[in-house]
Amino acid sequence: MFIKQMIVGSMAVCCYIIKCEESGQGCIIDPGGNDEEVLDYCHRENVDVRYIINTHGHPDHVCGNGRIKQETGAEIIMHKDDAAFFSQPEVIDYFSMLGLPASPPPDKLVEDGDVISVGSIEFEVIHTPGHTPGGICLYSEPDLFTGDTLFVGAVGRTDFPGGDMDQFIRAIKERLLVLPPETIVWPGHGYGGSRSTIGEEKRSNPFIR
């Protein structure tokens, strides 16, 4: 599996371009801006983009969905709980203040334990609610894409609509910290660094020690 991390958009989202080196098939995780740069990279590296996977539905992580879907024909994947939550008129109205493009409806809905196959790569969907109702992490050993669930030395916010800190910390401890310590953490923002490991976060992250 080839992984390209790109910092995109006005909120410095970590977008990931994943490519199966055997088949050339790929996916984009959280396209949050800089659409042309993301597309140019995919074209240059011959990435056959099959899926756009959103770790959650916040606008800064989905605002590139429409443009990239239009150019590549990729299907949008999101957890069913976030698809329902972010389609509510009052939620749309709240987040419209950010002024970012809305995402088209997802083409596929996933739940905890589902597997997303991209060529020979298999991502296990790990439901980690708390930042949003349908927040997910994507695990393909040894790599874990954590969105805004787990950062380097920090965790995501829970003060937006749909957030729940108790649920959030429980999900992190019970679903992520049980993974092998050498698991590589690829966060949704690089606030404390571009990547870490589960072992390092267990040792030093003040929010979950």
Say what the pLDDT of residue 50 is. 98
Give per-residue pLDDT as tens, 53-71. 999 999 999 999 999 999 9
Q: Which CATH superfamily is domain 2-204 in?
A: Ribonuclease Z/Hydroxyacylglutathione hydrolase-like (3.60.15.10)
12 pLDDT above the threshold of 90: yes
* The pTM of the whole model exceeds 0.75: yes
Confidence of residue 150 (pLDDT cuts 50, 70, 90): very high
For strands 143-147 and 75-79, give the pairing: unpaired
Give per-residue pLDDT as tens, 29-52. 999 999 999 999 999 999 999 999
Segments making up each domain of the chain, as ranges: 2-204
